[in-house]
Amino acid sequence: MADEFLNPYTFIQAFPRERLPQPLQDGPPPSRARLRPGCWTGRIEVTVTAETPLLLLDTARADRLPGDGHEVFPVRLRDGRPHLPATSVKGMLRAAYEAVTNSRLGVFDGHDVPLGFRRDAGYALGMVPVLVGSSGVCYAFQQASLRMYEKKSGDSVYPRDGQEAPRHLERLRAVIKGGNRGPTEVVRFVRKSSPEVLRPGNGEGVVEGLAFVTGPNIDGKTCERLFYVDGDAPRKLELARPWNEIETRWDILIENYERAHDDAELFGRKGPDGTVVAPSARLGDTPGRLAWSPHLYEKERKELKGGRLCYARLVNGRVDRLYPVLVPRDLHSVAPADLLPRSLAPASCYDELSPADRVFGWVAPQGSGVRPAAYRGRLRIGPVVCDQDADESVERFDGDGLPIAILGGPKPQQGRFYLAESADRPDRPIPGGAPKEKLYQAGRGLRGRKVYWHHAGLDRRQHWSEGQGKLDPTQVRVGRHYREFRRPRSSLDDSGSLTPDRKRYQTTDVEQRDTQNRSIKGWVRPGTTFRFSVEVRDLDDVELGALAWLLSLPAGHFHRLGYGRPLGFGSVRLDVDTAELHAGEQFADYYRSLSGSLPDEDGTEVLARVREEFVRLIEGSEELSTVRTALLAAARGNPELPVHYPRTRPDRLLGGIPAPPDPRGQNYTWFTENERVEGEKVASGRGRSLPAPVDADPLVVYPDKNGKAGEEQRGTGKSTNRNKSARSSGVTKKRRQ
C-alpha cells in the first residue's frame, strides 16, 4: 500500500457518439426567433466554495526575479476581493458538460502529426552509417569507435599523443582493429592531410573516413564514431521509398526533437560560475546537464542535405528511414488525430453541433470557410463575486513567495497513459507490456478527456502549511500525504543522499526558483465562497438536466478550477441557491396579456425534476453510465491513495516509508523503469498503462534502478534541480491577525 499512488490526471472516457440517446446526438441549434414550448429560460444563482486553496494568479502584475527570470505572482484582486473571472467558471462547466453528455471535443488542434518515442539500445544493431549525397543518394559506410571522453566526467581525453580532438566531418586516416566478434576500434589516427605514415600492427588495418561527433550527450559515454570505407569507394544504397518521403519524415522527426525542448533548456543553462554555457557543454550526469545533441541546436545538423552523416534503417537492404543519431527518437505510424472517431472531433458545421456546442457555443474550425462560422450559445455566466474581502480570504506569503512544484506539461507521447485498446472501448487501457513502438497504431483509440483528481483525505490545516521546525516541508508526511504542492528545497548533492535515519532526502535551506516553476504571493483560503448567476435561454429538459446535475454533485464531490490542479489546488464545490425558470409557453402567455405576470414558482423544483430525467437517460445507456461513474470517481478522489507524479523509490529508503518527492525532480526515472526491456520484451511487471478511474489496481512506485540520462536527456530535461542560482529560503507566512 505504501508504494501505490494516483497519477495527477486521469481520463473520462469519450465514446463514439453514434449509439447515444437521441437527445444527445448531433443537430443544429434551435432558432432564436422564439422560445420553444417545454424549454426553459431564466436564471440560476450558484455558490462556489473552495475546498482546497484556489490559485488566482494576477499574470499582469508578476515580478521577475534576477538571474533565471523566475516569476512570482500575486493574487488577482478587484475592489479588494479575490477576482475569479466568469470565463474560468464557464470553461470549467463546459469541460464537465462535454464529458457528462459525451459531446464532441470543443477543441482538438495540433494533434495531426505523429508523435515521437525513444528507441531502445537494441534498435542500434540494425542501423547503418551513411553519407547523404547531394542528389539524395545514400552511401553506406562502416564505423569504428573513437575514444574521446573520460567516462565519469565526460571531459575530453585530448590533446593526447600530439593530437587535438577530431572535429565533426573532419577527414581522418586511422589504424583500426577488431570487427570479427567485438566492436571495431580506432587505435590511433592522424588528419588526412598529415604526412605521417600509419603502420598497422598484427590484426590491424588502415582506413580513411569522416569523424561523426555528437558530444558527451550520454552519461558514461566515452567514444564517438569514425565512418570509414573498407575499400576504394562507399557502396551506394537503393531507396525503399521516394526521397521526398524520407526527407519529409526526417523533417517531422527533427521538429519532434525540437518540441521536446525549449530555448531556455538549450541556450539558458548556467555553469558553476553563473555564466551561460553553450548547449554542447556537459555540466553533470543528470537530465538537462549533459551536453545536448547537435541536431537540437545546430542548423546544419538539422537539415538533410548533401554531405550529411547520419544513420539509416534498411528494409530488404534499401533505405527506409534516416536518423540523426545511433539510438534515436522515432515517429509512430499514426498521429493522435488519426485515432479520434469522427463523431468526437470538433463540429465542422451547424448541423453537427453536439449538446455542449448548442448550449455553450461553437466556432467553426479555422480556415474552414463555413457559414455560419460561429454560434453564441444559450448559457451565460454572470459576474463572479467573492463574499469575503482579501484580508479574510487570502493567505499571503512574504519575501519571494512560496515556490510551488514544477507542473508537468501534457505528454501525449506517453501512449500508455493517453491511449485505449480501441476507439470503441476507451474504458480499456492498452494491455500491460505492449511494446512502446506499437502503442500509436491503427485500431487504437484515445482515452478521452483529461481531468484532475480531487486530492482527498488531506488535513486542511496542516497539509497546506509550512510545517514546523527546519525540516523541508515536502519531506515530512501529513497523515498519508506529502506536501506535493510545494517544490522541495535544493538537494544536498546530485546523488540524492538520504538523511541518516533514511526517512527522507537531504536538502539544504536553499529554495529552488527558476524558469521551471513559479512562486506565489498568496492563495485563496479553503472555505472562501464566491457567487455567480447562470442565465439560460431555451434549454430543453435534457440540456438543463445535464447542467443541473453538474451544479449539484453528490456531497464530497468537487469540480476543479484555476491554476495548479495537478498539485491539489482548486477543488471547489458548486451549490444552487435559488433559481427562477419558466417554460416557453409561460413566456408566450405573459407576452400575450401584456399586463400579466410570470408564474411565481420555485425554479429549484424544475432543476430537481430535469436532473432526475437526465439521470434516467444516463442509466439507460451503458456508455453514459461508464462516463458518469468515472467523472464521479475523479471528483470524489481516493483518500487511501496519495496523488503525485510518477517517481521511483530510493534504494536506501527505510522500509514502510512512502517515497518522498525527489528534490532533483527526476520523474523521468519512473517512465524509464516502466519501459525497461529484458531480452526483447518489456520486463515483467513493467509497461503499465494508466489505470481507468475506477480501476482497483493503481500505479506503483518502482524501485530506483539508478537509471542515467540518455542521448536525448531522457525527456525534456526539465527535471534537473541543481539550480546554481537558487535563492535562500525565506518564505514566511503572514497569518491573518
Please state, in angstroms and rounded to a whole number, the distance separating the CA atoms of residues 273 and 265. Answer: 18
Q: Which residue type occupies 612?
A: E
Does the structure show a pLDDT above 60 at 733?
no
Q: Is residue 727 very low, low, confident or very high in pLDDT (cuts 50, 70, 90)?
A: very low
Q: Is 169 exposed, middle or buried (0-12, 13-18, 19+ CB in 10 A)?
A: middle
Does the structure show a pLDDT above 90 at 69?
no
Rg from Cα positions in the chain: 30
Mean pLDDT of 427-442: 94
Q: State CA 409 to chain mean position distance.
A: 3
How wide is the angle at C-alpha 335 spanned by C-alphas 333 and 337, nearest 5°?
A: 145
Mean pLDDT of 74-87: 98
Mean pLDDT of 27-45: 96
The whole-number pLDDT of residue 68 equals 77
Q: State CA 327 to chain mean position distance.
A: 23
The whole-number pLDDT of residue 181 equals 66
Q: Is residue 723 very low, low, confident or very high in pLDDT (cuts 50, 70, 90)?
A: very low
Block residue for cell numbers 589516427: 189
The whole-number pLDDT of residue 2 equals 58
The whole-number pLDDT of residue 708 equals 42
Selection from 334, 301, 304, 335 nearest residue 322 by Cα = 304
Percent of the chain with pLDDT over 90: 81
Give pLDDT tens digits for 167-215.
Answer: 999 999 999 998 666 789 999 999 999 999 999 999 899 999 999 999 9
Q: Is the dihedral of CA 236, 242, 247, 253 positive or negative?
A: negative
The whole-number pLDDT of residue 268 equals 87
Helices (H) and strands (E) in the chain, counts: 12, 41
Non-local CB neighbours of 616 within 8 Å, separated by 6+ positions: none
Does the structure show a pLDDT above 90 at 615?
yes
Give pLDDT tens digits for 351-366.
Answer: 999 999 999 999 998 8
Beta bridge partners of 129: 311
Mean pLDDT of 530-537: 98
CB atoms within 10 A of CB 104: 25
Q: Are 148 and 178 in contact (CB under 8 A)?
A: no
Which regions of 218-295 does DSSP assign to beta strands (E)?
223-228, 235-237
Considering the chain, what is the average pLDDT of its residues? 92
SS3 of 186, please?
Answer: strand
Q: Is residue 483 very low, low, confident or very high in pLDDT (cuts 50, 70, 90)?
A: very high
Give pLDDT tens digits for 219-238.
Answer: 899 999 999 998 778 999 99
Which regions of 97-137 does DSSP assign to beta strands (E)?
116-118, 127-132
Q: Is residue 718 very low, low, confident or very high in pLDDT (cuts 50, 70, 90)?
A: very low
Q: Are 410 and 647 in contact (CB under 8 A)?
A: no
Q: Is residue 468 very low, low, confident or very high in pLDDT (cuts 50, 70, 90)?
A: confident
Mean pLDDT of 246-261: 93
Give pLDDT tens digits for 378-414.
Answer: 999 999 999 999 999 999 999 999 999 999 888 899 9
